[in-house]
Structure 1
Amino acid sequence: MRKLIISSLLLMFSLASCQQKQSSATTINSKEKTGQKMLDIYKQVRTYNYNPLYEVEFTSDTCGYEILINGVPLHRYLLAGSANEQRIPINDHILTSGKQEIIIRLFPPQLSDQSWSPTLVDGSKFKIKVIHHAIDRSTDNPKQVFEFTSSNKPGTEKFVGSGQKVFEFKGSFAAIVPYQIEGWKNSKDLSKENQDELLKEAVAAYNEFRNVLIRKDVNAYASLMYDKEVELAKAFYWNTSADSKERWDEMSGTIREKRDILPIKEFKMVLYAGGKVLALQPTSEMYKDYLSAIHAQTDDEDIQVSFLLHKKVGSNELTPVR
């Protein structure tokens, strides 16, 4: 077997020496095509008379929280402290017009000594609403389509979920959007697959993505994320060449940044959206509020890298969905 391997390597080196110039030219052309493909995404985007931007606007106090839109995690925060009013766009979680589901989960707060309370406490509070307005903010009069405010125990100022390990609220709101995107709408139900094999596939996909980040391979990153980027562009109406260029410059610049891509360890596999979306998530205390087990570090910050996977209908390959 060793001779076969050596012979094969010699053949490869021989071919490489003969084809080096052709290979180099092909690589350059491939890179140019990949970059241009990303720059041309705007050509697939339409705009309309009203281009709504849907957002969640929320505050929290003395609790961790997780927000899911249509079964897919939007944001999670479990560390100490309270959140003043925050806004997060959610168009990429709205695949088409109609009824949209929202789930709010509240978790016990982190204490001043960095440990976690075993349960939610009397002072835990959370408030959230869904609003929409023109994406160009041509009007400062956003319309509200949903609101949830945590309630107290009757006759008290104590949170109704005080003493519980998790408090969950499920609701819905109506959204009217002019676009339609596929997302995870028709993706395979991964809960029906062999979970041990699925875990192996997920770990392989995460490690492949991690290696792309380590190599700072901008073109491999673009190829991997192209379908996702097209859907984001449609959902947020990025319809000009300047939009695509700004997005591509931001992506490629981020990939080239000097940062350490940390090993994937201490994680669990989680399925969302009725089994259609998969994530590997950290279980360590330090990173357990991250949605993805891939994260990076610079001298100044710790960076969460989002990586949610699905299998398209007709495919058995895990690919990025958000």
Structure 2
Amino acid sequence: MGKLIIASLFLLSNLSGCQQKHSVASTMGNQDKDIDQKMLDIYKQVKIYDYSPLYEVEFSHDACGYEILINDIPLHRYLFLGSTNLQRLPINDHILRSGRQEITIRLFPPQLSNKSWSPTFVEASKFNIKVLHRKADGSLDDYKQVFEFSTSNKRGTENFLASGQKVFEFKGNFVADVPYQLEGWHNSQDLSRENKDELLKEAVAAYKSFRNILIKKDVRAYASLMYDKEVELAKAYYWNTPADSKQRWDEMSGTVREKREILPIKSFKMVLYGDGKVLALQPTSLLYKDYLSAIHAQTESEDIQVSFLLHKKVGSNKLTAIR
């Protein structure tokens, strides 16, 4: 009789355990579906406008490194050997609302053919950039130009005006007219007023937490972390159909699940953008010195920079992802 009771209790315990496991698995499955649906429903928050302008920068460079910032938020940086004829990058997510926008161009002395860096700009250094806008669904060639900057040459020559110098920076403005308004970093806290040591600790913790999410391929945690950012991107680029949200979520979740090595976070510095409201940890090692984020990954065929800019919302003490 004793053995029978023990056996019965063991059976009930197993049944209870199975039920709990099934319940946990079911709950997690439902949570995954809820997260999927939340991301797939982002398009519902995007308004449809009569005119949906897409703002872009078109630029070329030769014999110099460069960094482009829109409203003091980094867009693109390149420091290594080479030149480009023309590149175009969209910038709507850097434009929070209509009005005057600031553009900053920072140039750096070039890398030389022997892979060392010139201490100063050379005579062949040059950079050109334009800000264009067109219909989001329009032709690439049907655009209006609202800004242009080109480096100047020394009088009577084709030699860069700043050749022989170590630094060069240009700030300009253009006017954008967009139908949306983004919160972005507009009302975020000024991080430059915080204790730098404590802020660095918080930033490192946030970056490590994000790295762990990528290592674990935790799609649910990734979606939760990036949700506010994705809503703003959708508004800025007029992703207003179910297909838009599905394509975006398929790409995001597919990237998280992709087989890749998430490299350790090391040799970095803390940099503030957005007039002190946006924070990044950036690598300082030679190999990754043009990366904007200290988080990067490797697959068998490529090295991938993972964007991760942080801010603190008004009334919050927590660093969260903004871009």
> Common fold, TM-score beyond 0.5?
yes
Instruction: Give unmatched runs, 5+ long, in structure 1.
Output: 1-14
- The one-letter amino acid paired with 1:211 is N
> What is the alpha-carbon distance in structure 1 between the residues aligned to residue 99 and residue 152 of structure 2?
28
Secondary structure at 2:287's aligned position in 1? coil
Specify the alignment match of 2:264 in structure 1: 263
User: 2:169 & 2:24 partners in 1: Cα distance?
Assistant: 56
Equivalences for residues 4-83 of structure 1 within 5 A:
19-83=20-84
Equivalent-residue separation in structure 2 for 1:145 and 1:80 (angstroms): 30
Closer, same or farther in 2 for the Cα pair 1:47/1:107, shift >3 Å?
Answer: same
Q: Deviations over 1:270-321 (max 9, x none)?
A: 0001110000000011000000000000111100000000000010110111
AA aligned opposite 2:255? T
> For 1:30 and 1:264, how far apart are their aligned partners in 2?
30
Q: Find the counterpart in structure 2 of residue 223 from structure 1.
A: 224
Distance 1:109 1:17 in 2: 64
| CA distance, structure 1, for counterparts of residue 64 and residue 139 of structure 2 | 36
- Quick one: distance in 2 between partners of 1:21 and 1:238? 37
Name 2:149's counterpart in structure 1.
148
What is the identity percentage for the equivalent residue pairs of Structure 1 and Structure 2?
A: 73
Aligned-residue offset at 1:138: 5.6
Match of 2:170 in 1: 169
Cα distance between partner residues in 1 of 2:114 and 2:220 = 45
Name the structure 1 match of 2:289.
288
Deviation of the 1:156 alpha carbon: 2.2
**Distance in 1 (alpha carbons) for counterparts of 2:190 and 2:164:** 35
Q: Does 1:95 align with 2:96?
A: yes
Give me the whole-angstrom Cα distance separating, in 2, the residues matched to 1:149 and 1:235. 28
The amino acid that maps onto 1:268 is: K
Over the residues paired in the alignment, what is the CA RMSD in angstroms?
1.3
Paired position in structure 2 for 1:3: none
Partner amino acid, structure 1, of 2:57: V
Alpha-carbon displacement from aligned partner over 1:140-178 (angstroms, at most 9, x marks no partner): 420000000000122222111112222000000000000
Q: Which amino acid aligns with 1:168?
A: E
| TM-score (normalised: structure 2) | 0.93
Q: What per-residue deviation string (whole Å, max 9, x for no partner) do you get for residues 215-238 of structure 1? A: 011111000000000000000000
Q: Distance in 2 between matches of 1:25 and 1:85?
A: 52
Aligned to 2:183: 182
C-alpha distance in 2 between matches for 1:16 and 1:195: 49
Residue 134 in 1 paired to residue 135 in 2? yes
SS class of match (2:188): coil
* Counterpart secondary structure, 1:233: helix
Q: Secondary structure at the match of 1:66?
A: strand
User: Any gaps of 5 or more consecutive residues in structure 2?
Assistant: 1-15
Partner of 2:248: 247
| Corresponding residue SS for 2:162 | coil
| Matched residue, 1:297 | 298
AA partner of residue 240 (structure 1): T
Number of residue pairs matched by the alignment: 308
Q: Which residue of 1 aligns with 2:9?
A: none
Shift of 1:27: 1.0
Please tell me the residue identity of whatever aligns with 1:311: K
Distance across 2 between alignment mates of 1:116 and 1:146: 31
- Mapped to 2, the partners of 1:61 and 1:103 lie a distance apart of 18
1:194-218 deviations in Å (ceiling 9; x for gaps): 0000000000000000000000111
For residues 223-274 of structure 1, what are the alpha-carbon distances to aligned partners after superposition, in whole Å with 9 as ceiling and x for unaligned? 0000000000000000000000000000011111110000000000000011
Are residues 155 and 140 of structure 1, via their aligned partners in 2, closer, same or farther at CA, if it must alter by over 3 Å? closer
- Rg larger for: 2
Amino acid at match of 1:272: Y
**Residue identity in the other structure for 1:101:** E
How far residue 18 of structure 1 moved from its aligned partner, in angstroms, is: 7.3
